[in-house]
Amino acid sequence: MTRWRRFESPGAGKPEYREIRQEGIRCFLRWGQVGGRGKGSTSTLNDEEHARRHAARKIGEWLRKGFTEVDPPHDEAGPDPEAKVLDVLRAGARPHAPASEYLPVEGFEEVYRHVIAPGRPGGFHEYVVLRDDGRSAVRFTVRADRSDAAAVSAFLGFVSTRRDLPFDGSSHHKVPLPEPVGAFTHALLCAPALGQGCVAYPAIADRVAAAFPVFECEIGDADPEVLVDARIHGHGSLPRADWARAPRPVVDLRFDFRPSPYRGTRTFKVFGTADLEALMAALPGADPASRLDVRSFRGEIRSLTPAEVPSLAEMRSFLQG
């Protein structure tokens, strides 16, 4: 299901609508009163089959509640395959504000830079690497106060020679850098659906990929799309515009013990270093049969028990490889 499906409810009052669209592992929902301002949400599932079942379950719920499928209205804000990326970005400024200025980056072909909030502490530099005659692009941002000109230039050189890679049908690529970019050793290139490089611009959202430098330990070697999504968009996600950050290693946990500061999980879930520290602190006082499994970015698993809790330094070394 790639198009929106719309369902409306009859009733004495204002009728309501529900809309759903499934794309890959994601289901997009919109709902509200007909003629009113609606709301939306996105659900990310483990794989495409789970996403299809999720969409079918939602549709089944609406039909049981008396909703009827209707033709969706024309979506003026939908994708426009002929729209040029820079044209859309330049026209996307706030009403009555001057058009956003995207200037060519010297020394690079079809690469442009835009400064967001120049001169302010929270300012960013946005880079757009065009392809396909300007109809698609790879985009990344760097915090102005955390960037280094040499590192940015090196990363632009890398992305410029691989601008087609995020569009090869894979959700993402974790690629070793030929030379370190600052302290980073790898790059993560994400397809548009995963990278969400331009979700605020529906006309080009499905044609703008994302890229940013990472430490090797920050993305799992065999991560499926759903885990990468959690690492770059979920709670405690990578601050990818901060190019002066310390490594934030993969911390995948599976555990079952009581008492515990967290609800247990039978499968590995994405957590943070602080979560691991809290669980390790609670483990010595847990039931003897309790367990805490820790998985690193390489897929290696370390099993901890109340009788054997290593030091935090040892676990950090394990996680960072």
User: Are the C-beta atoms of 305 and 257 separated by less than 8 Å?
Assistant: no
* pLDDT value of residue 13: 75
What pLDDT is recorded for position 254? 97
Mean pLDDT across 150-171 = 96
Q: Which pTM value belongs to this model?
A: 0.86
Specify the pLDDT at position 275: 95
Residue 99, pLDDT above cutoff 70: no
pLDDT average, residue stretch 93-112: 80
3-state secondary structure of 315: helix
Amino acid (one-letter) located at 160: S
Task: Supply angle C-alpha 207, 7, 200, rounded to 5.
Answer: 25
Q: What would the pLDDT profile of 281-318 be if each residue is shown by its tens digit?
A: 999 999 999 999 999 999 999 999 999 999 999 999 99
| Secondary structure (H, E, C), 14-62 | CCEEEEEEEECCEEEEEEEECCCCCEEEEEECCCHHHHHHHHHHHHHHH
Q: What is the pLDDT of residue 97?
A: 52
For the record, the structure tokens of 272 come out as: 């943070």
Q: In which residue are the tokens 């054997």 written?
A: 308
Q: Which residues pair with 127 in a beta bridge?
A: 113, 140
Amino acid at 154: A
* Per-residue pLDDT reduced to its tens digit, 133-145: 999 999 999 999 8
Question: How do residues 6-49 score in pLDDT, each as one tens digit?
Answer: 999 976 678 899 999 898 899 989 999 888 888 888 888 888 89
Confidence class of residue 175 from pLDDT cuts 50, 70 and 90?
very high
Residues 6+ apart with CB under 8 A from 61: none
Distances, alpha carbon 46 to alpha carbons 28, 97, 156, in Å? 15, 41, 32
Mean pLDDT of all residues in 232-254: 94
The CATH number of domain 5-70, selected from 3.40.50.920, 2.20.140.10, 1.10.150.130, 3.90.1280.20: 2.20.140.10
Tokens of 205: 């959202």
Q: Where in the chain is the domain with CATH 2.20.140.10?
A: 5-70
Crossing angle of the two packed helices 273-282 and 312-320, in degrees rounded to 10:
140
Q: Is the per-residue pLDDT at 1 higher than 50?
A: no
Residue 26: half-sphere exposure toward Cβ, Cα within 13 Å: 19
What's the chain's length in residues?
A: 321
* Residues 188-240 pLDDT 10s: 999 999 999 888 888 899 999 999 999 999 999 999 999 999 999 998 899 99
* pLDDT at 93 exceeding the cut of 60: no
